[in-house]
Structures are given as structure tokens and as C-alpha cells.
Amino acid sequence: MSTQNPDPAAPGRGARPLRRRLLDEAARVLAEEGPGALSARRLVRAVGASTMAVYTHFGSMPELVREVMKEGVERFLARVREVPPDADPVRELAGLCRAYQEFARAEPHVYAVLFGGSALAGFELSETDRSMGVALLRFPRDAIRRCAGAGRFHADTDADLLVRQLFAQMHGLAQLTRAGYILGRYGPDDVLAGLLRDLAVAAGDNPTQATTSVRSGLAG
């Protein structure tokens, strides 16, 4: 019987943990140091594998970057799906926004790859790649439509426009929070509660109802 250790690059048993480590390290390097710092040699040295591991699991460095994005979308979806449809759609919408901010804080490297907007390791995101991230908007968009259907928002609310406005606010808050610019009396959670309440009221909700629903949705 051979006592030789198995090649850590080989697919099969133990392959998924190695694949995950490669994805995590690639996301970290891209987010913290930029595309110029990313190389197959650096990645495998960090995770304790052979260079062949990158090509075994991904085929090329650009495909590894694409997988970082796909992995990020799946991790994001896992959090979003923990927010169930709610009889109070404003509370549901607030819960989805809470999940967004929690993801951005818990996985800043993956978040930066998803929404950072820079060219990564010679790899430019295609329209199809970006569509993966934009597809996440269907959850808050559907909640906005239910808000309108329930009479909480104006009946003629343009959910497609409003969800993009909300996306811009969520991204801005996530970026400013990470950069440490939310200072003083009001922290990121206060800002989140305020902008969601104001968005709901502007869309037609009763201020008292909006405040109650947002507070409940953010509490989890």
C-alpha cells in the first residue's frame, strides 16, 4: 500500500475545501491589493497547494475570477433567502436590506469583487457577468411590488426604478461603512433605518407604519 500523500490539487475528496480556499484568497487579494497582485503562484503558496490546483479547479486565472463572482452571488443569495416573504412587505424589504449590509460587512473581499467595478487580473466583467449581480435585485423589487399591492406604497410605484435607487443607496452605505466614514452620533445601522424609513414614506407609506415596519425588519 502506498503511503504517498494525495495531490492537494486533485479533484475528489478534499477538493471543495481547497477550491473554497483558493476563491477566498483570490477575493482577498483582489479587494485589498488589486489585480496586479494576483497570480497563480501567490494563491497556491497562500493555501498550501501546487500551481496545478488553479488550473485543475478553474482552467485559467480569468475563469477563477469569474468563479469568485459566481461564488459571491451564491453566498449573497444564501443570506437573502433567509428573509421569507412577509405579510408586512415593508418589513420584508427592510429585512432584505439588512441582509445586504450584513453580507457586505461579513464578506468585504467577496463584496468588493462583486461590486467594486475594477478590471480584475486582466478579466473584464461582461454584461452576462454583471447580470448575475443585478439579478439579486429581483428580491427587493418583488417586495416593493407587494408594498404597492398592499396599499403601503403608491399604486403607480415604478418598482424597477425604485429598486435601482435603493441599490445605489445600499452600495453607497456599504462602501462608506467599510471606509470608516460613518462617524459621530449616528452609526451605519441608524443611517440604514433612516434611509429606509424615508424611502418608504416617499413611496407613499404612513410615517408611523414605516418606522415600525423598518425597525422590525432590521431587528431580524
Looking at residue 142, which CATH number applies to its domain? Answer: 1.10.357.10
Name the amino acid, one letter, at 150.
A
CA angle 190, 208, 184 (to 5 degrees): 15
- What pLDDT is attached to residue 32? 79
- What pLDDT is attached to residue 24? 87
Task: At 18, list the grid cell.
Answer: 481547497
- What pLDDT is attached to residue 147? 98
Residue 144 is assigned to a structural domain of this protein: yes
Domains of the chain: total: 1
User: CA-to-CA distance for 63 and 69, rounded, in angstroms?
Assistant: 10
Residue 151 is assigned to a structural domain of this protein: yes
- What pLDDT is attached to residue 119? 57
Residue 6 is assigned to a structural domain of this protein: no
Torsion of CA 44, 48, 51, 52, to 10 degrees: -120
What letters, b where the CB count within 10 A reaches 16 and e where it falls short, cover 162-175?
bbeebbebbeebbe
Residue 75 is assigned to a structural domain of this protein: yes
Task: At 94, list the grid cell.
Answer: 427592510
- What pLDDT is attached to residue 121? 55
Contact 9, 56 (CB under 8 A): yes
Which range marks the domain in which residue 111 is found?
67-218
- For the chain, the residue count is 220
Residue 18 is assigned to a structural domain of this protein: no
What is the DSSP secondary structure assignment for residue 89, as one 8-state letter?
A: H
Query: Which conformational region is residue 6 in: left (phi greater than 0), alpha (psi within -120 to 50 degrees), or beta?
Result: beta
Residue 87 is assigned to a structural domain of this protein: yes
Residue 138 is assigned to a structural domain of this protein: yes
- What pLDDT is attached to residue 71? 80
For the chain, which residues score pLDDT lower than 70?
A: 1-16, 35, 117-125
Residue 76 is assigned to a structural domain of this protein: yes
